Amino acid sequence: MEKQTIVVKIGSSSLTNDQGEIDEQKLSGYVEAIAALKKAKHTVILVSSGAVAAGFKQLGYPSRPVTIKGRQAAAAVGQSLLIQSYIKKFGQYQLVPAQILLTRSDFSQRERYQNAFSTINELLDRNIIPIINENDTVSIKELTFGDNDMLSALVSGFIHADQLIILTDINGLYTDNPMKNPHAEKYSFLEEITDEVLASASSEGSKVGTGGMKSKLEAAKRALSLGVSTFIGKAEGKYSLLQVLQGTGDGTYISNKSMQPINTKKQWIALHSESTGKIHIDSGAEKAILYDGRSLLPAGITDVQGTFVKGDVVEVYGQNKLLGKGKVNYSSTEVMIEIKKRQEQGKLAPSIEVIHRNNWVTFK
Ligand code: GLU
């Protein structure tokens, strides 16, 4: 089998028990399966939850804390315990893990985003296993990745993974809750995550984790949009992750032939950048950028809102809706001057490209 880049996501309930302790046996099982992937020369990135769930007991809480400061403090205790266990267990296979804690603002700032990208690639080049988690201790609610399912999807797009494997304690997606309905049937393969499928999935997570099947499907949908196939299911046993790659995993596969990988710069524009302004355009410009593969020129711009500088990202609105986002080559003041020039001189005014095609992302 060809060497692949795999992102494996493991949730809190797969790594810890209800009492707020790491389940060393389960963790060993996953490490063994990842070691088998590494032995087969695949590149592996682990997105691991469990910091809060592994830390609350030692922090003195009887169950997962409900306050933000309680969760953040529990994560500070638990994250180090978690990494300690991973270092010990991976060490048995002569594998070295590295801890990466990310917040959304690390992704929204282009420089930090690029740094994270280079660091992860350096680690992978050196055969290290990056273990990524959200930096819960400093993340604030409004600025999180949502949950680690979504984080794993974003990471898999970011590093252009071949496969995202979201592990959970149920072996895939069912037509109904299999615990309650014995006639519920498993989906072995899905080409897309429709609104119907999303609506039928439960958003309930476990006592120790967040998420639930719904967040896994939302993550799979995001991964698909970034050109990455996803598997949601169980992996028990040494060869279980290799079996997932071979197509015989115990779960649901989500992939689609028309998936297109998106380059990292465009992912940043679409998913992470913060817009500093809005540009409204007419129907001619809308057609040009959506269907003709053109850049955005001042001629089609009908209104500019907000103050932006060269290199900022703005939202572009058509007649009825938000069309997409793009990185501007000119400031809002310069764009206004250009629009005025066009109004005064008509077609004689030399045109500029306000947003170059390569820095434009259409929203579907
Ligand atoms: N980052 C959280 C933790 O490690 C978990 C978030 C999630 O499960 O989605 O405890």
Of 262, 294, 320, the one marking the end of a domain is: 262
pLDDT score, position 179: 81
pLDDT at 286 over 70: yes
- 200 shares its domain with 133: yes
- 221 shares its domain with 140: yes
pLDDT at 223 over 70: yes
pTM (predicted TM-score): 0.89
Say how many Å lie between the CA of residue 75 and the centre of ligand 1. Answer: 9
pLDDT score, position 172: 92
Band (339; pLDDT cuts 50, 70, 90): confident
- 118 shares its domain with 240: yes
- 182 shares its domain with 161: yes
- 32 shares its domain with 144: yes
Mean pLDDT of 145-172: 93
Task: Determine whether the shortest distance from the Cβ of 210 to ligand 1 is under 6 A.
Answer: yes
Of 239, 262, 285, the one marking the end of a domain is: 262
Task: Determine whether the shortest distance from the Cβ of 133 to ligand 1 is under 6 A.
Answer: yes
- 125 shares its domain with 211: yes
Determine, yes or no, domain membership for 268: no
Mean pLDDT of 122-147: 88
- In the DSSP assignment, the letter for residue 239 is T
Say how many Å lie between the CA of residue 53 and the centre of ligand 1. Answer: 8
Determine, yes or no, domain membership for 269: no
Band (204; pLDDT cuts 50, 70, 90): low
- 132 shares its domain with 81: yes
Determine, yes or no, domain membership for 139: yes
Task: Determine whether the shortest distance from the Cβ of 332 to ligand 1 is under 6 A.
Answer: no
Determine, yes or no, domain membership for 76: yes
Of 262, 289, 312, the one marking the end of a domain is: 262
Determine, yes or no, domain membership for 202: yes
Band (206; pLDDT cuts 50, 70, 90): low
At 352, phi and psi to the nearest 5? Answer: -120, 160
- 176 shares its domain with 325: no
pLDDT at 178 over 90: no
Are 64 and 50 in contact by the 8 Å Cβ rule? The answer is no
Say how many Å lie between the CA of residue 48 and the centre of ligand 1. Answer: 8
Q: List, in sequence order, the alpha helices (H) in the chain.
A: 12-15, 24-39, 51-59, 68-91, 104-108, 110-125, 148-158, 195-200, 213-225, 240-246, 264-267, 283-290, 332-345
Task: Determine whether the shortest distance from the Cβ of 102 to ligand 1 is under 6 A.
Answer: no
Say how many Å lie between the CA of residue 267 and the centre of ligand 1. Answer: 23
Ligand 1 atom at shortest distance from the alpha carbon of 151: 9
Band (164; pLDDT cuts 50, 70, 90): very high
Burial of 275 (0-12, 13-18, 19+ CB in 10 A): middle
Domain carrying residue 302: 274-362
- 28 shares its domain with 103: yes
Task: Determine whether the shortest distance from the Cβ of 72 to ligand 1 is under 6 A.
Answer: no
d(CA 188, CA 248): 10
- 235 shares its domain with 298: no
What percent of the chain is modeled with pLDDT above 90? 75
Task: Determine whether the shortest distance from the Cβ of 212 to ligand 1 is under 6 A.
Answer: no
Determine, yes or no, domain membership for 207: yes
pLDDT at 349 over 90: no
Task: Determine whether the shortest distance from the Cβ of 163 to ligand 1 is under 6 A.
Answer: no
- CATH at residue 25: 3.40.1160.10
SS3 279: strand
50: left (phi over 0), alpha (psi -120 to 50) or beta: left
- 321 shares its domain with 199: no
SS3 355: strand
- CATH at residue 293: 2.30.130.10
Band (76; pLDDT cuts 50, 70, 90): very high
Determine, yes or no, domain membership for 321: yes
Number of domains, the chain: 2
Ligand 1 atom at shortest distance from the alpha carbon of 150: 9
Task: Determine whether the shortest distance from the Cβ of 235 to ligand 1 is under 6 A.
Answer: no
CA 303, 306, 312, 313 torsion-angle sign: negative
- 145 shares its domain with 189: yes
Determine, yes or no, domain membership for 267: no
Task: Determine whether the shortest distance from the Cβ of 286 to ligand 1 is under 6 A.
Answer: no
Mean pLDDT of 22-34: 97
CA 124, 128, 131, 134 torsion-angle sign: negative
Say how many Å lie between the CA of residue 279 and the centre of ligand 1. Answer: 37
